Amino acid sequence: MDETAPYTIAALYRFAAFPDPQGLAADLRALAAELGTCGTLILAREGINGTVAGSAQAVAALVAHIRALPGCAGLDVKYAVAPQAPFARMKVKVKAEIVTLGAGDLDPANGAGAYLDPAAWNALIADPDTVVIDTRNAYEVACGTFERAIDPGTGAFRDFPAWFDDFAQKLRDEGRAPKIAMFCTGGIRCEKSTALVKSRGFDEVYHLRGGILRYLEEMPEAQSRWQGDCYVFDERIAVGHGLKPGVHTACRACGQPYPRDADHICGAASPAM
């Protein structure tokens, strides 16, 4: 964390059992108001997810409070800095899921795929027999992805189960049970999607620890298998290696990202996870 930057950004999530998410949310609203942070936190019975920004001291205090919640000592947090507030206000919401997959009862806290660090990830996806799946939505994939990755072409994360069930049937028809490597922006969608894939009978399922953002932060560009930018859900729009600002901007009307030097045809729907 950069103590001199005007705004510290923390993207965080943790799958944990929260019997009373409403009560936890009320405490977080009060603390966030006291600290003057902005951003969004989503709580559900399955855990917490969100991105917050504020002074380095305020974000540290908020993160410390979340780490003290039941099951959250291992909270996954990725930090960045910004010269101005990346969010207009602070929202703390309670929902059915912290990231909406709509696939029924899954247990990402205990049933997700195996984590791989960036070096092991590079080795796995270099194997031509490994199936590499980008679990993000089509507009995110359009900004950048890993080489050889399959784009499901989804418009929302809740579309992923139906796509995967069709894809899994094709693998079975071909008599294949390959290693499956999956990735997403920060790791949360992979926790749920790898749990889904394992529930469908695939055993060798892996995902990138910390997601694309940690990979871009840690992996030297010369050794990287990433191509393009990584779309992010804040005013930075997209980042590249070293988490430096990318070449994409966003349409003010539809929210879709596109390269700054390219023409853009405005769409009707705004991006959503």
Question: Do residues 113 and 194 touch, judged by C-beta distance below 8 A?
Answer: yes
Whether 254 is a known active-site residue: answer: no
- Strands 248-250 and 257-259 come out as antiparallel
Question: Do residues 11 and 76 touch, judged by C-beta distance below 8 A?
Answer: no
Question: Do residues 207 and 187 touch, judged by C-beta distance below 8 A?
Answer: yes
d(CA 110, CA 178): 22
d(CA 150, CA 43): 30
Name the catalytic one among 38, 184, 190, 230: 184
d(CA 53, CA 232): 14
Query: Crossing angle for the helix pair 188-199 and 160-173, nearest 10 degrees?
Result: 40
Q: How many residues can be counted in the chain?
A: 273
Q: Which residues are annotated as catalytic? A: 184
